[in-house]
Amino acid sequence: MIHIVKRKEMPFAHAMAIRFGVIGLALIVCGIVTMLTTGLSPIDVYGTMVSGAFGTMRKTWILLQETAILLCVSLALVPAFRMKFWNLGGEGQILIGAFAAAACMITLGNSLPAPVLILVMLATSLLAGGVWALIPAFFKARWNTNETLFTLMMNYVATQLVAYFVIVWEVPKGSGNIGIINQSSEAGWLPTLMHNKYLLIVLVAIALTVAMYVYLNYGKQGYEIAVVGESPNTARYVGIKVNRVIMRTLVISGALCGLVGFLLVAGSAHTLTTSLAGGRGFTAVMVAWLAKFNPFIMVGSSMLLEFMSSGAGEISTIYGLNHSFGDILTGIILFFIIGTEFFITYKVVFSKKGAEQHV
Amino acid sequence: MFDFLVSFIPRAVVQGIPLLYGSTGEIVTEKSGNLNLGIPGVMYVGGICGVIGSFLYERSLADPSQMNAALGILIPLLCCLLGSLLMGLLYCFLTVTLRANQNVTGLAMTTFGVGVGNFFGGSLIKLTGADVPSIALSATSNLYRTRLPFAAGLGWFGQVFLSYGFLAYAAIIIAVLVSYVLNHTRMGLQLRAVGEDPATADAAGINITRYKFIATCAGCMIAGLGGLYYVMDYANGVWSNDAFGDRGWLAIALVIFTIWRPNVSIGASILFGGLYILYLFIPTGKDLAVKELYKMLPYVVTIVVLVFSSLRNKRENQPPESLGLPYFREER
């Protein structure tokens, strides 16, 4: 007779040790999979991955920047997830924020002084992302419309909206691309700090991590989010206006996604494409969940996923394989971690027939 | 107008068939209470497994055009079903046996599945050391695209109703069958009970785990066929990375649009297929940009349906009650 018992709260250090052990195990499996498909020795595989991620100063900075961006998206989604509101619309909210920033750069690029322009871009991006998330939140709050599916659909509406404007603004006409915006004037580009064009985004991510931790754990609003997430009825009973909390939280969530869009356009890509968000809205869901919605652990989980994708990218470049190899490895690691949670939350008890009264 | 419909409808249908497979599969899955967001990945895996099977089979022959017709169809079909089944088993193992979060598992499966599709699609030639420039399985594709011999002689009737490969008709038959099973058999009733209220169903003696496993795996296999249809029939046996696009998500949208009814999905997926390519037929002149806005239509329509079904709040139009929630018997 096998049955499953919920564990008492496992010590935090113990649980983290299990998770790291599993990540190690998953890396071994990834090595074996790579070996089977490419015929390389696992040590070469890991060596290539590490040099792909940290090989040069520039690669390290790119990894840090990518981690920072993914981390920001995850931080944006966390308040919604703590409320058990499945915001799968990060992708669309990023895109719409990027769209707002690019729109300001293109239409106002020549008429406003640079600092004002950047502030205007920031404000419109935050607003656009917030509104994009508020729409599903409003329907969820008023009529309990399924938010998972609604936010998912909003992604594609945003994609097509961007596709429309990419053609409207394409340079040169007929190319289907916007190209680098304001290449000569650099209007609306974020400044480089200490001659390092990656540093600013990393600093924003660090600040946001701390701010989000404080907001969720030490503020009244963070508390309200937690109560609504655990039980909307309890929240109503203690006088929390559930509808307002849902909408307010989603505006914050969407606005932060919009911020990421702003960072992508103004800080790194300097252009607008439909694939600008690059699946981060979905990857961030997994980053946040892996970290149990703890902002500081999310630093580690986003770093892990970005390391995997840049490392696998290096493997595919060197051995002439397709770049999607990284997605396969990421998938394997995710499956391992997803599976582990069960053994952290529950334990399996094997009991013999005669011993059952003791259980 | 008539000529327009005769040329438009067949194109809408071939666009709609992968969506029909995907949505039928997802409906079966969701009826058991599992919200499988891995369907886009499963459809990629289904497609690429069929491609791998047929690629290896065609390469093992001296002259692929002389291949055995039955094997040429069965090998990709079985590979596709097997690949999709494995994805379904993985999803069930994680969400049902290990009680993992369904959204996270589904998204991970989509990442993984799309990765598998694009990786093998892009690297199959290098991995097998073949000396062909690209994956073009024209011999297999010709088998899948075989039409009824007399269809071409039937004018517009043949073009609208008989100009498709056998997988297209199979999609419609499967949708009708699934609809019948869900609504008119004991098995379907029990499956719906599992999706609505697993605790009650459990108390009535229904094996929840078994129903969730079977429904999700069957759903994945059906959805995987959509990927196979796309590459073998629609794309003439040519695999190109990311060509399948966001059709998997569109299939999930269809599930809501049809309010969880596979028989409605037959018409609806053709409608969505039509909306997907409508921009090709609307005279916009030189304004290419507007076409992008037309591509938005299927998603906007889905959102409107989602909102209205929650506004009207009719009980038979709601998602399965326990959709997305794991079931722990111990936590009742």
Terminal alpha carbon distance of chain B: 60
> Min CA distance, B328 vs chain A (Å)?
10
CB nearest B98 (choices: A139, A152, A342): A342
Choose the mutation target among A40, A145, A156, A340 for the interface with B, i.e. most B CBs under 10 Å. A156
Question: Is residue B311 less than 8 Å (CB to CB) from chain A?
Answer: yes
Q: In the CATH hierarchy, which fold is given to the domain comprising B2-331? A: ABC transporter involved in vitamin B12 uptake, BtuC (1.10.3470)
Pairwise CB contact (< 8 Å): B307 & A139: yes
Nearest CA in chain B to A159: B296
Terminal alpha carbon distance of chain A: 11
B284: confidence class by pLDDT, cuts 50, 70, 90: low
Which pLDDT value is given to residue A179?
A: 77
Pairwise CB contact (< 8 Å): B108 & A325: no
Mean pLDDT, all residues of chain B: 85
Choose the mutation target among A33, A37, A146 for the interface with B, i.e. most B CBs under 10 Å. A146
Mean pLDDT is lowest, of A212-221, A310-319, B245-254, for A310-319
Pairwise CB contact (< 8 Å): B324 & A282: no
* pLDDT tens digit sequence for A45-89: 778 888 888 888 888 888 898 899 999 999 999 999 888 888 888
Choose the mutation target among B92, B109, B258, B296 for the interface with A, i.e. most A CBs under 10 Å. B296
Nearest CA in chain A to B303: A150
CB nearest B35 (choices: A6, A148, A332): A148
> Min CA distance, B33 vs chain A (Å)?
14
Which pLDDT value is given to residue B189?
A: 93
> Min CA distance, B83 vs chain A (Å)?
15
* pLDDT tens digit sequence for B222-278: 999 999 999 988 888 888 877 787 888 888 888 888 888 898 999 999 988 888 887
> Min CA distance, B283 vs chain A (Å)?
16
Which of chain A's residues have a Cβ under 8 Å away from the Cβ of B37?
A: 88, 152
pLDDT of B151 > 70? The answer is no
Q: What are the domain boundaries of chain A?
A: 67-295
> Min CA distance, B1 vs chain A (Å)?
28
Helix (H, G, I), strand (E, B) or coil at A225: helix
- CA A194, CA A202: separation in Å to the nearest integer? 13
CB nearest B118 (choices: A143, A167, A322): A322
- Encode chain B in three state secondary structure: CHHHHHHHHHHHHHHHHHHHHHHHHHHHHHHCCCCCCCHHHHHHHHHHHHHHHHHHHHHCCCCHHHCCHHHHHHHHHHHHHHHHHHHHHHHHHHHHHCCCCHHHHHHHHHHHHHHHHHHHHHHHHHHHCCCCCCCECHHHHHHHCCCCCCHHHHHHHHHHHCCCCHHHHHHHHHHHHHHHHHHHCHHHHHHHHHHHCHHHHHHCCCCHHHHHHHHHHHHHHHHHHHHHHHHHHHCCCECCCCCCCCHHHHHHHHHHHCCCCHHHHHHHHHHHHHHHHHHHHCCCCCCHHHHHHHCCHHHHHHHHHHHHHHHHCCHHHCCCCCCCCCCCHHHC
Helix (H, G, I), strand (E, B) or coil at A348: strand
CB nearest A286 (choices: B108, B115, B296): B108
* pLDDT tens digit sequence for B157-202: 777 777 788 889 999 999 999 999 999 999 999 999 998 888 899 8
Which of chain B's residues have a Cβ under 8 Å away from the Cβ of A4?
A: 330
Which of chain A's residues have a Cβ under 8 Å away from the Cβ of B116?
A: 324, 327-328, 331
Pairwise CB contact (< 8 Å): B119 & A328: yes
Question: Is residue B240 less than 8 Å (CB to CB) from chain A?
Answer: no
Side-chain-facing half-sphere of B315: CA atoms under 13 Å: 1
Q: Locate tokens 């983290």: which residue?
A: A16
Which of chain A's residues have a Cβ under 8 Å away from the Cβ of B324?
A: 86, 148
A116: confidence class by pLDDT, cuts 50, 70, 90: confident
Helix (H, G, I), strand (E, B) or coil at A130: helix
Pairwise CB contact (< 8 Å): A322 & B241: yes
Which pLDDT value is given to residue A358?
A: 47
* pLDDT tens digit sequence for B80-118: 999 999 999 999 999 998 888 888 899 899 989 998 998
Which of chain A's residues have a Cβ under 8 Å away from the Cβ of B319?
A: 146
> Min CA distance, B205 vs chain A (Å)?
18
* pLDDT tens digit sequence for A327-357: 888 888 889 888 888 888 887 777 665 544 4
Q: Are A155 and A246 in contact (CB under 8 A)?
A: no
Which pLDDT value is given to residue B90?
A: 93
Q: pTM of whole model > 0.80?
A: yes
Q: Locate tokens 């849902």: which residue?
A: A246
Which of chain A's residues have a Cβ under 8 Å away from the Cβ of B123?
A: 37, 321-322, 325
Look up residue B281 and give its two tokens: 């037929």
Pairwise CB contact (< 8 Å): A331 & B109: yes
Which of chain B's residues have a Cβ under 8 Å away from the Cβ of A145?
A: 306-307, 310
Q: Are A333 and A30 in contact (CB under 8 A)?
A: yes
pLDDT of A1 > 70? The answer is no
Question: Is residue B290 less than 8 Å (CB to CB) from chain A?
Answer: yes
Which of chain A's residues have a Cβ under 8 Å away from the Cβ of B126?
A: 320-321
Nearest CA in chain B to A165: B289
Helix (H) or strand (E) holding A330: helix A325-345
CB nearest B311 (choices: A4, A143, A341): A143
Which of chain A's residues have a Cβ under 8 Å away from the Cβ of B93?
A: 339
Question: Is residue B275 less than 8 Å (CB to CB) from chain A?
Answer: no
Q: Is the ipTM of this complex over 0.90?
A: no
CB nearest B293 (choices: A164, A323, A330): A164
Q: Locate tokens 């999979």: which residue?
A: A33
A359: confidence class by pLDDT, cuts 50, 70, 90: very low
- The number of C-beta contacts closer than 8 angstroms across A and B is 164
Q: What is the mean pLDDT of residues B25-49?
A: 92
Choose the mutation target among A140, A338, A345 for the interface with B, i.e. most B CBs under 10 Å. A338
Q: What is the mean pLDDT of residues A281-305?
A: 87
Pairwise CB contact (< 8 Å): B121 & A152: no
Nearest to residue B220, comparing CAs of B36, B16, B18? B36
Nearest CA in chain B to A142: B311
Find all residues with CB under 8 Å of A275, minimum gap 6, and list them. none
pLDDT of A183 > 70? The answer is yes
Nearest CA in chain A to B306: A145
How far is residue A20 from each of residues A14, A46, A286, A288, measured CA to CA in Å?
10, 17, 16, 16
How far is residue A26 from each of residues A31, A326, A337, measured CA to CA in Å?
9, 14, 8
Which pLDDT value is given to residue A14?
A: 81
Nearest to residue A202, comparing CAs of A98, A82, A306, A116? A306
CB nearest B119 (choices: A4, A286, A324): A324
